[in-house]
Amino acid sequence: MKSDFDYIVAGSGAAGAAVASRLSRGGARVLLLEQGASAQPQADAAAAVSSYYANAGLTAAFGNGLFPIAVGRCLGGTTAINSGTCLRPPQDAVLRWQGEAPGFDAAAFGLDVEDAWKTLKVSPVPRELAGRSTELFFQGLERRGLGGGHLLDRAHDDCRGAGRCCFVCPNDAKMTSERAFLRKTDHQAGPEVWAETRLLDVQPSQREGGPAFARIRGSDGEARTLSCRALILSCGALATPYFLRKLGLPAGDGLTIHPAAKVFALFPEPVRGWKGVPQAGGRLDPEEPRLRFEGAFVPPEMAPLTMPLEGLRLRWWLDRYENVASFGFMVRDLGRGSVRYPAGDSLPLIRYRLHEDDVRLLARGMREVARTYLAAGASRVLLPLNRPDNEIEDQAGLDAFDWRSIRAAELNTMGFHPLGTCGLGRSLGADLRAAPGLYVCDGSVVPESLGVNPQITIYAFALGLARRLLAGAGAS
């Protein structure tokens, strides 16, 4: 078994798979480490969560509310369990990074964005696969005299609308990082991949040009030390800071999570929202640009975990789930959090405080989705609030509801895109080098909340790093 490589990349998500693949194709000897196993389709969505989500789906931030955070732990990382939605990074943010991180090239980054877009085969969701939840949301917008509803771009190839994007696609149609970058062909080299391998410790080069070291434990339980010219941490925004903090480097603050929620709506006719692409449609609020609407629907077996109900009220909705639609929304958050490791890297302590203006936008999001579904003919809507008055039957009820009374702790929210804990311009410079022979490249380097699904941005950072390393601009 080899123990010496040009590059060792820890983590196989968007950044890790992309940078490892491009370095390998450039002629480097690359080892890619992944703590999880290869993601396989499951008959039950709950089984996919327990197998391929970090901590069996129980990762969460605590603060002025409870904020579960969806993070993948499998080959492909979170790209194996995300919606597949692709949006380009906001141009105002990219230009800001150029000003705040000397050496960051916005134009070159834009080319890397387009490279990722092409490699992932990004294209709009076919209308026939949009699903009834999205159709009803669009109908409601039309009846309200509103525009802006559109089909989202996704990383997919031969999608059949199985409705399991976030629970491992059963048809292998989603362009995950594993499918887009790690599957070898007869004509392309690829990195050596060690799955079910845990990174224990890292040691940067002791001198410029010297070797870096990675301490690992493989699936056989044996610990060993590997050497390389450079080590790239792509473990994600919730895990990468652990290794930097052990070295006394600044990391772990500035966490953003895109707080998100969804509204359920009951219709008189069958909806069968589990059929088709769950996140097929979107809309940006024209009056509140930090608020973005995106489709969201979970299979029946996951519904009890996502509805803010219990007892007979929950049973009532579940009995009618065939007639239920749902649509989600997320906020480009002003709130910030942190991650620390009092129990080690496997159980991070995540703190996050939802900003009061983010609470206001989440309230606006649920009001707008509820109003839109009622306009489309819904007989009742269920708001993402952990309080007894979370069901509303008509527009008059919406108008009478005291939206300003909503508190952060009452929100039934999740975070889907942890970013910023090793932020560009704060913890890292434009070269993404943390120490001699040690680089960081994953969602942790994105220095701010984007307000868009971030996988394209993360891929672009990785492609840029690979390009610079191969050109010799910082190989140690």
Predicted local distance difference test score (pLDDT) of residue 474 = 47
Residue 376, amino acid: A
CA nearest 354: which of 288, 253, 260? 260
CB 131 within 8 A of CB 163: yes
CB 328 within 8 A of CB 319: no
CA nearest 215: which of 233, 235, 200? 200
Mean pLDDT of 465-475: 83
Q: Which pLDDT band holds residue 335 (cuts at 50, 70, 90)?
A: very high
Number of residues that make up the chain: 476
CA nearest 213: which of 437, 365, 461? 437
Mean pLDDT of 297-319: 96
DSSP assignment of 161-195:
--S-GGG--TTS-B--HIIIII--BTTB---EEE-
| pLDDT above 80: residue 352 | yes
- The percent of residues in the chain predicted with pLDDT above 90, rounded, is 95
* Dist CA 296 CA 128 (whole Å): 17
H or E, element range at 48: helix 45-52
- More confident site: 459 or 188: 459
User: Quick one: DSSP state of residue 123?
Assistant: E
Question: Residues 6 or more apart from 349 whose CB is under 8 A from it?
Answer: 339, 340, 341, 342, 343
The chain-wide mean pLDDT, for the chain, equals: 96
CB 292 within 8 A of CB 332: yes
Q: What pLDDT digit, counting tens, does each position of 161-184 carry? A: 999 999 999 999 999 999 999 997
Predicted local distance difference test score (pLDDT) of residue 420 = 98
Q: What pLDDT digit, counting tens, does each position of 231-288 carry? A: 999 999 999 999 999 999 999 999 999 999 999 999 999 999 999 999 999 999 999 9
Predicted local distance difference test score (pLDDT) of residue 1 = 64
Could you count the other beta carbons within 10 Å of the beta carbon of residue 29? 17
- For residue 284, list its beta bridge partners: 292
Lookup: tokens for 161? 């609308």
Could you count the other beta carbons within 10 Å of the beta carbon of residue 344? 8
Q: What are phi and psi of 69, to 5 degrees?
A: -125, 125
Could you count the other beta carbons within 10 Å of the beta carbon of residue 219? 11
Predicted local distance difference test score (pLDDT) of residue 293 = 98
| pLDDT above 60: residue 156 | yes
Could you count the other beta carbons within 10 Å of the beta carbon of residue 473? 11
* Dist CA 353 CA 369 (whole Å): 24
Question: Residues 6 or more apart from 159 whose CB is under 8 A from it?
Answer: 125, 126, 129, 171, 173, 174, 277
Question: Residues 6 or more apart from 11 whose CB is under 8 A from it?
Answer: 33, 34, 35, 77, 233, 234, 235, 236, 239, 240, 442
* Dist CA 249 CA 474 (whole Å): 19
* Dist CA 106 CA 289 (whole Å): 22
